[in-house]
Amino acid sequence: MPDRFRRRLLNLLLSFYNSQHNGLSYLEEDYFEDSAYQRIYRKIYFNIFRNLGFIERILTEHTRNLKDKKAKSLLVLGASQIFFMDDIPDYACINETVKLAPARLKKFINATLRNIARNKETFILSYSIRENFPAWFVEKWSDFFSNDRELDNFLINLNKSPEFCSINLDSLTPEPYIKNANRSYPMDLASFYIPMLTKNTGAGFILDACAAPGGKTLVLSHLHPEAKITALEKNSKRSDILDQNIKKYNAENVIIANEDFLNFDLKDKEKFDLILLDAPCTGLGTMKRHPEIRWLRTKEDIKRMASYQNKFLEKASRLVTQEGCILYSVCSLEAEEGIDVINNFIDSNPNFKILTPDFHHIPSEFFCGKFYYTLPH
Ligand SMILES: C[S@@+](CC[C@H](N)C(=O)[O-])C[C@H]1O[C@@H](n2cnc3c(N)ncnc32)[C@H](O)[C@@H]1O
């Protein structure tokens, strides 16, 4: 019997090569779930999508054509383990993959994977970090960095595992990550400091416009305990998760609404003093946690999201009080979705201005001029 997780990974690769993923991430389940099954599934999954360019190149160079998607998926699954799962012997990587192959492919998969295993040390010598990102992405970022070393450092870091800390919600400080801690929420530092930027903003009514799963809502709730916070989330499944988190962490000043922010109506209620607009984006800044995202997004997606984000910011501007603040953020590193959206908005809305946040409680490397901007390293 082949392993359950390998069958699942094979099906996932098949849907990836058949473009049946609808642009969604594959790693749907809780990142922090920690069963033995989940650990090995996640490890192989990450190895595949972090190194897919290299794996596909080796396969293309050393096998007959890879038009058969089943064969290609099986080979990627097997080769990724041979190259990157040091704790599984090559013969087991090969045998377990061959078990998943239909009769017509067994011989071919077996022979190809054996050949790869025999030559793996030589193949690894030709590994290049850049081949593991789409060409358009590498080209775009090579304009940003002044030399090749910086670019490679950036890409190497994007291919690393994410680092989380536990946010102590009582003291609002980051602590080393503790599993299942009661009063601390797992978060990465870059996300934590976003709501912390509002530390010195007096706010009675706060809107968290795109709130699930709610990490930033929780920080806002504890940072502004006297405020009334409305947390919106369009997606009903994610709104349920938000609800669970709000209850679990006793964020009593938060009211959740499963609503579309773009259709949100004040209905005679007061405007908000503070709006956190953690807008939907390409997610290209979440590659450490979602390595597949680089292969699912295109340059056109960035443009498409930017025009969507403009609408969100325009909408927020109609819901904020005259002296109020909008905190706009995205988990994309692309200027088109972040800094450019803000600058374009300011250009066409002269009654708004950019506020430089108070840096004191935030590490200085997280700033880029007037903006809060974090890179993977
Ligand atoms: C970047 S995530 C928010 C993360 C969240 N702020 C946190 O810190 O945990 C963006 C969220 O916006 C939601 N969303 C997308 N379009 C929306 C809309 N039109 N109205 C409200 N929520 C929306 C998505 O479902 C997603 O949960």
Judgement on whether residues 221 and 340 belong to the same structural domain of the protein = yes
Quote the number of domains for the chain: 2
Do 87 and 215 belong together in one domain? no
Question: Is 86 marked within a binding site?
Answer: no
Contact call for residues 288 and 278 (beta carbons, < 8 A): no
- Same-domain pairing of 218 and 281: yes
Which domain covers residue 245, as residue numbers?
165-372
Tell me what pLDDT residue 222 has: 96
**Out of 44-48, 108-112, 179-183, 312-316, which region has the weakest mean confidence (pLDDT)?**
179-183
Of 127, 153, 188, the one marking the end of a domain is 127
Q: Does 279 count as an annotated binding residue?
A: no
For residue 37, the model assigns a pLDDT of: 78
Summary mean pLDDT of the chain = 92
What is the position in ligand 1's atom list of the atom closest to the CA of 276? 6
d(CA 197, CA 121): 48
The verdict on residue 135 lying in a domain is: no
| Ligand 1 atom 2 nearest Cα | 280
Give yes or no: residues 325 and 233 share one domain: yes
Q: What percent of the chain has pLDDT over 90?
A: 77
Pocket probe mutation, ligand 1, options 185, 189, 233, max atoms within 8 Å of Cβ: 233
Average pLDDT for residues 153-160, to the nearest whole number?
Answer: 97
Instruction: Output the residue whose Cα is nearest ligand 1's atom 11.
Output: 210
Q: Which of 65, 99, 127 is the last residue of a domain?
A: 127
Residue 233 in marked binding region: yes
Q: Which protein residue has the closest C-alpha to ligand 1 atom 10?
A: 280
Is 34 annotated in a binding site? The answer is: no
Does a structural domain hold residue 90?
yes
Check residue 25 and give its pLDDT. 56
Q: What is the mean pLDDT of residues 268-288?
A: 95
pLDDT tens digit sequence for 20-39: 665 555 555 556 667 777 88
Residue 231 backbone dihedrals phi, psi, to 5 degrees: -115, 115
306 pLDDT higher than 70:
yes
Return the CATH number at 224.
3.40.50.150
- Tens of pLDDT, residues 48-89: 999 999 999 999 998 877 889 999 999 999 999 999 999 999
Q: How far is the centre of ligand 1, averaged over its atoms, from the C-alpha of 366 (Å)?
A: 23
The interaxial angle of helices 148-158 and 135-144, nearest 10 deg, is 130
Region 343-366 average pLDDT: 88
Task: Tell me what the mean pLDDT of segment 249-262 comes to.
Answer: 97
Is residue 250 domain-shared with residue 116, that is, in the same domain? no
Query: Of the ranges 11-20, 183-192, 306-315, which is most confident?
Result: 306-315
Q: How far is CA 48 from the centre of its chain?
A: 16
Residue 4 identity (one-letter amino acid): R
Secondary structure, 3-state, the chain: CCCHHHHHHHHHHHHHHCCCCCCCCCCCCCCCCCCHHHHHHHHHHHHHHHCHHHHHHHHHHHCCCCCCHHHHHHHHHHHHHHHHCCCCCHHHHHHHHHHHCCHHHHHHHHHHHHHHHHCHHHHHHCCCHHHHCCHHHHHHHHHHCCCHHHHHHHHHHHCCCCCCEEEECCCCEEEECCCCCCCEEEECHHHHHHHHCCCCCCCCEEEECCCCCCHHHHHHHHHCCCCEEEEECCCHHHHHHHHHHHHHCCCCCEEEECCCHHHCCCCCCCCEEEEEEECCCCCHHHCCCCCCHHHHCCHHHHHHHHHHHHHHHHHHHHHEEEEEEEEEECCCCCHHHCHHHHHHHHHHCCCCCCCCCCCCCCCHHHEECCEECCCCC
Distance CA 120, CA 342 (A): 48
Please give the distance, rounded to the nearest whole angstrom, from the Cα atom of residue 305 to the centre of ligand 1: 13
CA–centroid distance, residue 231 to ligand 1 (Å): 10
Q: Which residue has the higher pLDDT, 104 or 32?
A: 104
Query: 210 CB under 6 A from ligand 1?
Result: yes
pLDDT at 216 over 70: yes
Q: What are residue 174's phi and psi, to 5 degrees?
A: -80, 140
CATH number of the domain residue 9 falls in: 1.10.940.10
Pairing of strands 165-168, 173-176: antiparallel
* Residue 69 or residue 362, greater confidence: 69
In a domain, 158, yes or no: no
In a domain, 141, yes or no: no
Write down the pLDDT at residue 36. Answer: 79
